[in-house]
Amino acid sequence: MALVDFTTYDDIRAALGVSADEIEDATLSLAVYEYNLKSELEDLDSSLTLTSDFATVSDLDPAARSFLQERFFRSVFLFSTYAVAKHLTSSLPLFSPKEITDGKASMSRYAQNPYEKTIATVGELYDKYRTRAIEAYAAFQSTTATPTTRRVFLVRAARGVDPVTGS
């Protein structure tokens, strides 16, 4: 599955507070971000079924999803957004210019990192949504688990003779 199956480029940019001019779709579509997200999702689920379950739920009409399916979908979507955003925070000061001018086509970058608060917030939200995604997936799995077969120890048998008519 591609990165856009789990989140959108606009949501990733919104989490970082940058525009499409600062991080283009072509950059976000690089395999490094997709593979990093897949690794993060694999770390959430030891049985490695989360991605296929997410694909199944995302194919459903949103109005037809149960509460637990919708909660699982939203949790994985938000976690995916912040997992990619967290990966991008290491290079955030590099791709976000301080000033862009058109007069002589110049650009200046920040000498210090003004994104410390943004990086900290993205890290906190990553941890929060990681926990929620794990909990939502556990709840989702509990409803989709196959029910155990119950053994029948007592049954009712019909009488061979009708006590009223004697036959």
Written as tens digits, the pLDDT of the chain (167 aa) is 789 999 999 999 999 988 888 889 999 999 999 999 999 999 998 788 899 999 999 999 999 999 999 999 999 999 999 999 999 988 877 766 555 566 665 555 554 566 788 889 999 999 999 999 999 999 998 886 555 455 656 666 667 777 777 77
Query: In sequence order, what DSSP letters do the residues of 56-107 get, joined into one string?
Result: HHHHS-GGG--HHHHHHHHHHHHHHHHHHHHHHGGGHHHHS-SEE-SSS--E
Query: 55 — phi, psi (to 5°)?
Result: -60, -40
Q: What is the pLDDT of residue 5?
A: 94
For residue 66, which of 47, 74, 5, 134 has the smallest C-alpha distance? 74
- Give residue 152's pLDDT: 58
Whole-model pTM: value is: 0.76
CB 137 within 8 A of CB 53: yes
- Determine the pLDDT at residue 118: 87
pLDDT at 1: 78
Distance CA 133, CA 30 (A): 24
Q: Under DSSP, is residue 114 helix (H, G, I), strand (E, B) or coil? A: coil
Q: Which two tokens stand for residue 48?
A: 């490695």
